[in-house]
């Protein structure tokens, strides 16, 4: 299978996925709004800030002009940070209309839009009408760019309400080290993908505070329980949360030093102020915004999410972390069967 693909967003994830798609035999145009980064990718085949010490295929061409990047695209893959998806989708819609295209849309971002609390497939559907596109699919799962760059074994999910679109995505990405499953539960996959970043922040913080493995396992397990409560309130399939986009992604993000969310939590746990952590990271820490949306959604939908609430209060309401942990531990005793 060989296609013309536009990849939008040249951070660590967008750039390595673009490289993988080139290696799979596709004709890939990678777009970034940063002209300097485009110049570096095209002249040196590197992307030092986002994926240090990696050399990209010389067949991968980067563009800073969005319309040029979209010429001939049969598939458009969005991999910009969550809060940028809508602002990128608007000009994409105009360009694909002008160019007379009707591409498949895929996104690989993990978050909930601030203020609207929409999932990203919903944001794309709002900005790009069905008349201008084929079905939308979502890729998600335990997959750090740094390990994909090393061709380490990686398994992800391609979710779409349209099986043919999910299978199309599966075929585009599959290779010897990258295996893709289809899934029809877009809601569950997107909610799992977005909310695991909150748990990764919490797991990093526990590490920074000096807590041990029991505490981290407890956070991941009970975190997954509340993610699935919120997800099923929207109609997600509960089994999705024990799949790649649920428990799989929680394991990788909440235990790995590759995770920006985990690293941010770890620094916060050691007492580094939030703005310093964000500035030093220089890359997107999705959990910091998703926790606001999840906190509001939990309130709106009357879903109990005590861990999300505690992390929100520590980050944005100056609650002392030790007090937040004490409150969680002193909650009334529950049955694990009533989740």
Ligand X SMILES: NC(=O)C1=CN([C@@H]2O[C@H](COP(=O)(O)OP(=O)(O)OC[C@H]3O[C@@H](n4cnc5c(N)ncnc54)[C@H](OP(=O)(O)O)[C@@H]3O)[C@@H](O)[C@H]2O)C=CC1
Ligand Y SMILES: O=C(CO)COP(=O)(O)O
The answer to whether 119 contacts ligand Y (rule: CB under 6 A) is no
Beta carbons of 67 and 92 less than 8 angstroms apart: no
> Catalytic residue among 44, 134, 196, 292, which?
196
Question: Residue 169 touches which of ligand X, ligand Y, none (CB < 5 to 8 A by kind)?
Answer: none
Q: How far apart are CA 291 and CA 271, in angstroms?
A: 19
**Among 75-83, 124-132, 211-219, 254-262, the segment contacting ligand Y (CB under 6 A):** 254-262
Distances (CA, A) of 263 to 76, 107, 280, 292, 307: 30, 24, 11, 19, 18
Quickly tell me which residue has 């009533």 as its tokens: 338
Q: How far apart are CA 44 and CA 60, in angstroms?
A: 11
- Site size toward ligand X (CB under 6 A) is 27
- Which residues in the 43-82 window bind ligand X by CB under 6 A? 50, 79-82
The answer to whether 265 contacts ligand X (rule: CB under 6 A) is no
* One-letter-per-residue 3-state SS of 119-154: EHHHHHHHHCCHHHCCCEEEEECCCCHHHHHCCCCE
Quickly tell me which residue has 């993000």 as its tokens: 253
Q: How far apart are CA 248 and CA 241, in angstroms?
A: 9
As measured in angstroms, the least distance from the Cβ of 131 to ligand Y is 32
196 is an active site residue = yes
- Site size toward ligand Y (CB under 6 A) is 13
Is 10 known as a binding-site position? Answer: yes
Phi then psi for residue 331, to 5 deg, are -60, 155
Binding mask 101-140 for ligand X (x = CB under 6 A): -------xxxx-----------------------------
The answer to whether 11 contacts ligand X (rule: CB under 6 A) is yes
Binding mask 142-171 for ligand Y (x = CB under 6 A): xxx---------------------------
Helix (H, G, I), strand (E, B), or coil: what is residue 27? strand
Is 141 known as a binding-site position? Answer: yes
**Catalytically annotated residues:** 196
Using CB under 6 A as the criterion, which residues of the chain lie in contact with ligand X when the complex forms?
Answer: 9-14, 32-34, 50, 79-82, 84, 87-88, 108-111, 143-145, 283-284, 286
């Amino acid at each position: 299978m060989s296609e013309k693909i536009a990849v939008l967003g040249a951070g660590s994830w967008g750039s390595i996925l673009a490289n993988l798609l080139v290696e799979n035999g596709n004709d890939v145009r990678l777009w970034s709004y940063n002209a300097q980064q485009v110049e570096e990718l095209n002249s040196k085949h590197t992307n030092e800030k986002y994926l240090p010490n990696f050399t990209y295929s010389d067949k991968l061409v980067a563009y800073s002009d969005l319309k040029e990047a979209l010429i001939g695209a049969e598939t458009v893959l969005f991999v910009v940070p969550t809060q940028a998806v809508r602002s990128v989708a608007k000009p994409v819609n105009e360009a694909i209309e002008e160019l007379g295209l009707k591409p498949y849309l895929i996104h690989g971002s993990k978050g909930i839009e601030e203020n609207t609390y929409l999932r990203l497939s919903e944001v794309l559907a709002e900005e790009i009408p069905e008349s201008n596109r084929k079905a939308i699919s979502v890729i998600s799962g335990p997959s750090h760019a740094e390990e994909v760059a090393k061709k380490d074994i990686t398994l992800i999910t391609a979710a779409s309400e349209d099986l043919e679109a999910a299978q199309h995505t599966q075929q585009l990405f599959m290779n010897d080290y990258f295996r893709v499953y289809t899934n029809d539960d877009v809601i569950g996959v997107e909610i799992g993908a977005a909310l695991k970043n909150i748990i990764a922040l919490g797991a990093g913080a526990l590490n920074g505070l000096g807590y041990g493995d029991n505490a981290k396992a407890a956070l991941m397990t009970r975190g997954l329980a509340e993610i699935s409560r919120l997800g099923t309130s929207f109609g997600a399939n509960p089994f999705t949360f024990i799949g790649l986009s649920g428990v799989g992604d929680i394991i990788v993000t909440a235990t790995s030093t590759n995770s920006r969310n985990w690293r941010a939590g770890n620094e916060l746990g050691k007492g580094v102020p939030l703005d310093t952590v964000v500035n030093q990271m220089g890359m997107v820490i999705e959990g910091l915004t998703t926790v606001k949306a999840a906190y509001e959604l939990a309130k709106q939908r009357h879903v109990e999410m005590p861990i999300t609430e505690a992390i929100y209060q520590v980050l944005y309401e100056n609650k002392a972390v030790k007090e937040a942990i004490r409150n969680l531990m002193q909650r009334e005793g529950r049955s694990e069967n009533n989740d």
